[in-house]
């Protein structure tokens, strides 16, 4: 695979995005997650070409889920690509074939974290595109996500937040960066063609049993034809606007949370919350603070009903109380406080 450099619009676009958003610091060690598909192959080539300007040290990682019979050959191809570009290559093969998309994903992020840790890469870079962002927004909208789910794929975040089940000590400091969120799948495909980059076609992407694939293959083309040819860009822009708004709300929530919550000394769990202060704030913030508190007192992720139940106590009469939340905790009103009773849990 030759490494001839033809400077294209995509090179300039990515270079500019990286400068504007300060996503990938100069001279950083970057672990590029490559599946062999057009998005991550395009990402790798772009980063390789920009590397002299930024001084990064690039490494390539492939996670073999063993889901497809050609997954080994897929890995060999990426190994060959990395070798021809003189980049270190890391490969992990699943010992057990994951039984669902979710387990495969969990395993993949675990492996990415372990390799990043072992070989000292503080940043993992993935090839998620504007098209993935539009699809994720639609997928989450249909599932009933709030604005947090609709911001759909952020530019960067800690790997720990991406996969909270991973060991926090391992992942808290590793950043996951997605620099292609302004570039469409059509553009990555064209780039690979123009640069004669072979790509590995993931045959499971054709399988319409998966909701994601139906969104990609059927829903988006329908929306493009019958509603708006620019729908993909518009959805991705909506996700970007929501991302900024969610960021802003998150920072307000954090400040308010610290103001209203009294923590138990030993367990550091929320013990009681000041509802007089909460009552003076907007209901959007009341919900967010309630959710943040419930995340710390419940045994599972709070849903809409749980949050509404706690929020209702903010203006309820004295002595009102909730049914037990999952995990057994009860909340009750004691004058200006909402108090959590852990004894029953």
Ligand X SMILES: Nc1ncnc2c1ncn2[C@@H]1O[C@H](COP(=O)(O)OP(=O)(O)OP(=O)(O)O)[C@@H](O)[C@H]1O
Chain residues binding ligand X by CB under 6 A are 33-35, 39-40, 61-63, 105, 108, 126-128, 132
Toward ligand X, which CB reaches closer, 63 or 298? 63
Residue 71 CB, shortest distance to ligand X, in Å, is: 8
Q: How far is the CB of 80 from ligand X (least distance, A)?
A: 15
Query: 76: annotated binding-site residue?
Result: no
Q: What are phi and psi of 264, to 5 degrees?
A: -70, 135
Residue 341, both tokens: 């009773």
- Min dist CB 108 to ligand X, Å, is 6
Assigned token pair, 216: 């990609």
Choice between 15 and 91, CB closer to ligand X: 91
* Phi (first) and psi of residue 95, to 5 degrees: -75, -35
Per the annotation, does 258 bind a ligand? Answer: no
Closer CB to ligand X, 180 or 313, in the complex: 180
**Minimal CB distance to ligand X: which residue?**
127
Tell me how far, at minimum, the Cβ of 210 lies from ligand X, in Å. Answer: 10
Query: Is 146 one of the annotated binding-site residues?
Result: no
Residue 144 known to bind ligand: no
The β-bridge partners of 29 are 57
* b/e map 122-138, b = 16+ CB within 10 Å: ebbbbbbbbbbbbbbbb
Q: Single out the residue of 309, 248, 316 nearest to residue 276, CA to CA.
A: 316
User: Which C-beta is closer to ligand X: that of 45 or that of 128?
Assistant: 128
Pick between residue 126 and residue 286 the one whose CB is nearest to ligand X: 126
What residues contact 292, with CB distance under 8 A and at least 6 apart? 253, 257
- CB of residue 50 to ligand X, shortest distance in Å: 17
Contact 181, 130 (CB under 8 A): yes
Binding site residue list for ATP: 35-40
């Amino acid at each position: 695979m030759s490494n001839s450099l033809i400077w294209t619009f995509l090179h300039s676009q990515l270079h500019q995005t990286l400068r504007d958003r300060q996503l990938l610091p100069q001279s950083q060690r970057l672990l590029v997650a490559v599946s062999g598909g057009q998005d991550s192959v395009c990402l790798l080539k772009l980063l390789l070409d920009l590397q002299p300007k930024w001084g990064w040290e690039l490494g390539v990682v492939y996670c073999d889920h063993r889901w497809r019979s050609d997954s080994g050959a897929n890995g060999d191809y990426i190994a060959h690509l990395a070798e021809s570009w003189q980049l270190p290559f890391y490969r992990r093969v699943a010992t057990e074939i994951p039984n669902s998309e979710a387990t495969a994903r969990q395993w993949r992020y675990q492996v990415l974290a372990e390799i990043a840790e072992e070989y000292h890469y503080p940043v993992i870079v993935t090839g998620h595109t504007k098209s993935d962002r539009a699809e994720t927004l639609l997928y989450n909208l249909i599932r009933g996500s709030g604005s947090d789910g609709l911001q759909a794929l952020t530019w960067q975040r800690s790997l720990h937040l991406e996969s909270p089940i991973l060991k926090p000590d391992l992942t808290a400091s590793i950043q996951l960066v997605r620099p292609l969120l302004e570039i469409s799948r059509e553009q990555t495909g064209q780039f690979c063609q123009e640069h004669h980059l072979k790509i590995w076609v993931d045959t499971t992407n054709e399988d319409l049993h998966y909701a994601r694939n139906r969104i990609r293959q059927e829903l988006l083309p329908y929306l493009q034809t019958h509603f708006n040819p620019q729908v993909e860009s518009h959805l991705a822009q909506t996700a970007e606007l929501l991302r900024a708004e969610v960021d802003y709300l998150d920072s307000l929530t954090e400040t308010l949370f610290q103001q209203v919550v009294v923590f138990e000394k030993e367990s550091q769990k929320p013990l009681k919350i000041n509802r007089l202060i909460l009552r003076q704030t907007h209901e959007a913030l009341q919900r967010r603070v309630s959710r943040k508190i419930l995340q710390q007192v419940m045994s599972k992720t709070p849903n809409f009903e749980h949050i509404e139940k706690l929020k209702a106590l903010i203006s309820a009469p004295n002595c009102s109380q909730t049914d037990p939340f999952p995990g057994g905790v009860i909340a009750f009103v004691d004058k200006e406080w909402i108090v959590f009773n852990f004894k029953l849990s």
